[in-house]
Structure 1
């Protein structure tokens, strides 16, 4: 019964949040209704309608922004993860908001984390990196009003100038990358190449959520020389994969240490900085 109690508590928190953050009564009701429908569809395993859209305006930390979600997809879950459960709430003593100038958001999906960063770090330019064509199209829509956000459609890879392909048979946040020619073609770049192409000398915050690709990227993390803080989602925490221990092995060569972000309430979300 513990799992049921946890679920009920989670849903209650989502309802409270949806009653508070949207700016109009209409948007509050639409988000509440869409959230309920999303969970019911998940329970019943009803296929998503990829054309459905939820348009609303929200206010986060005094920052007002329009947001577009695909209410039948994973966008609803990601929205609550970022804005309600504050997955990327980084302690100010580690990353003082007024001092942050450059953020690289790798695995930006539809731009929700980038919008959160724009709200929290008012002086920052945010480079939003997303390879999935459908996600990237919505990313551009979600961030068009915010000139500090720079959308970039590439795939972060361990090596420079790789040709990769994207396939997606499930939720849009969980696509697969391959080099065998299966799916949509996307250019692959490594961190050094990305920085060179966009004139980035130093990264105050590097956020990485690349569906398991982090193991290859951090195997040679020489790019950390130009990074202050890393916020990453590890996709091997469930057992034997690329977990916190392995992540720390790769980071330690460059003087970094990683730990679970206690603010995020999710053991797969970690922070890293110089020791």
Structure 2
């Protein structure tokens, strides 16, 4: 993979540390990467947290060969699945850089869909507790926010948000506050942004 988006992800994870991996304390034991693309975040996390259990999710078939190779190099587990509030099936809208591909819900697998697991299942696969959730899923976060009970199993959140369907920055803050997260850092850009947040339980 060598598209512009992949290069952006490399710099974001390894050079700029936009997800604040070097600032986390205590060190996470379980890390969930939703919207892994080719796996640069999971690779960066492995370099800083060599003992952590890391699971990466990515539904886009176009990047899976690269993700597989990086998972072997980084010693993390990957799932070629989307994550949502509920299990189901999705298709990919992949017309630009790979890191901008989006999922669209399907009614059934008969339409040639890609499997989606619910957030609770992704957390359960890590033992029921996620110390760090990184999420960059091009708008699918709004569906994942609906899995209210599952979010109790997340301690730290680092995410890129997307203001799809007329949503606002205030909607982002409201959604996270409703899930009992305190926002500790927020960078707003045109139509998207970055949030760090901590669960207040």
Question: TM-score, structure 1 length as denominator?
Answer: 0.64
* Equivalent in the alignment of 2:80: 153
Higher relative contact order, structure no. (Cα contacts within 8 Å, ≥ 6 residues apart): 2
5+ long unaligned stretches in structure 2:
none
Residue 90 (structure 1) shift:
4.2
* Equivalent in the alignment of 1:128: 56
1:184–1:209 distance in 2 versus 1, CA, 3 Å: farther
Q: Is the 8 A contact 1:220 1:250 kept in 2?
A: no
User: Structure 1 stretches (4+) deviating beyond 6 angstroms?
Assistant: none
* Equivalent in the alignment of 1:95: 25
5+ long unaligned stretches in structure 1:
1-69
1:203–1:164 distance in 2 versus 1, CA, 3 Å: same
* Equivalent in the alignment of 2:100: 174
CA distance in 1, matches of 2:98, 2:199: 33
Q: Is the 8 A contact 1:114 1:126 kept in 2?
A: yes
Tell me the C-alpha RMSD between the 2 structures: 2.7
* Equivalent in the alignment of 1:231: 158
Q: Is the 8 A contact 1:127 1:151 kept in 2?
A: yes
Residue 105 (structure 1) shift:
0.4
Q: Is the 8 A contact 2:39 2:71 kept in 1?
A: yes
CA distance in 1, matches of 2:160, 2:49: 20
Match of 1:163 among 89, 109, 112: 89
String of CA shifts for 1:202-246, please: whole Å, max 9, x gaps.
100011100011111113432121111011101129x95253x22
Residue 73 (structure 1) shift:
3.8
Q: Is the 8 A contact 2:13 2:40 kept in 1?
A: yes
CA distance in 2, matches of 1:125, 1:242: 34
Match of 1:80 among 2, 6, 11: 11
Match of 1:248 among 169, 173, 189: 173
Aligned pair count? 197
SS at match of 1:144: helix
CA distance in 2, matches of 1:120, 1:269: 21
Structure label with greater radius of gyration:
1
CA distance in 2, matches of 1:82, 1:221: 28
SS at match of 1:179: strand
Question: TM-score, structure 2 length as denominator?
Answer: 0.85
* Equivalent in the alignment of 2:65: 137
